[in-house]
Amino acid sequence: MARKKKKNGEGAKRIIILLVLAAIVVGGFAMLALRNRPSRATPSTLTPVEEVLARNLDNNYPATPKEVLKFYSEITRCFYSENYTEEQLQQLALQSRALLDEELIAQQTDEDYYTMLKADIDIFKSHDRSISSYSVSSAADIDYYKYEGLDWAKALCVFTVREGTSLVATQEEFLLRKDVSGHWKIFGWRIYDEKNYE
C-alpha cells in the first residue's frame, strides 16, 4: 500500500513538472511572438505621406544639399502620386515650403502657393500621370561654390513620370543656398539644360 502511494506521489510530481515546463515553453513562445509583432506606430505601417509628415524639421533638418533634395523629392512624389486628405495636403505644402529659401518664399504667400499647387496637382493627375521614382545627384556630383560670401550648391534630380503605361524622365537642376542657421535651402530650380550646367 505504501508503494502505491509513493508511485502516485511520483506520478503527480511528474505531471506537475511537465505542466510547469509546458507553461514555460508556451509562455516563451508567446513572449517572442509579441516582441516580434510590429507595433501600430512603427514606420513600416505608415503611408509615405504619414512618414513625410512625421518628420520634425525643427529638430531633424536634412544636413546636406543631397538630403534636402531627397526629402523635397519625396514630398513632391507624395503630392503627385499618393492619396491624402485636404489637411494632409496642406501639411505637405508647409513641409515643402520649409525647405525653400526665404527669398523664394517671399515671392508667394502660403495661400497662393497652396492654390497653385492644388491646380498643378489636378492638371497632373487629370492626365493620368504620377511620379514613379526620383534620383538625386550623388554627393560627389554636387557643385559647391561661394558667391557674395554665401555658400551655394548646384545639384540635379531626375524625376521619372508615368503617364498611362509610358515612362518619361525629367532632369531638374536645383540651386541651394545655406542660410544663417547653416541649413541648405532651395533657392530655385529649372529644367536641366547641359549647356547651362557649368
Which pLDDT tens digit goes with each residue over 100-156?
Answer: 999 999 999 999 999 999 999 999 999 989 999 999 989 889 999 999 999 999 999
Q: Answer whether 88's CB lies under 8 Å from 53's CB.
A: yes
Q: What percent of the chain has pLDDT over 70?
A: 75
Residue reference for cell 526620383: 134
* Confidence category of residue 165, pLDDT binned at 50, 70, 90: confident
- Segment holding 138, helix H or strand E: none
* Confidence category of residue 9, pLDDT binned at 50, 70, 90: low
pTM of the model: 0.74
| Domain limits, the chain | 1-37, 47-196
CATH code: domain 47-196 is 3.10.450
Tens-place pLDDT, residues 45-69: 899 999 999 999 999 999 999 999 9
User: What pLDDT does 23 receive?
Assistant: 55
CA 175/CA 198 separation, integer angstroms: 12
| Helix ranges restricted to H, 1-81 | 2-36, 48-54, 65-81
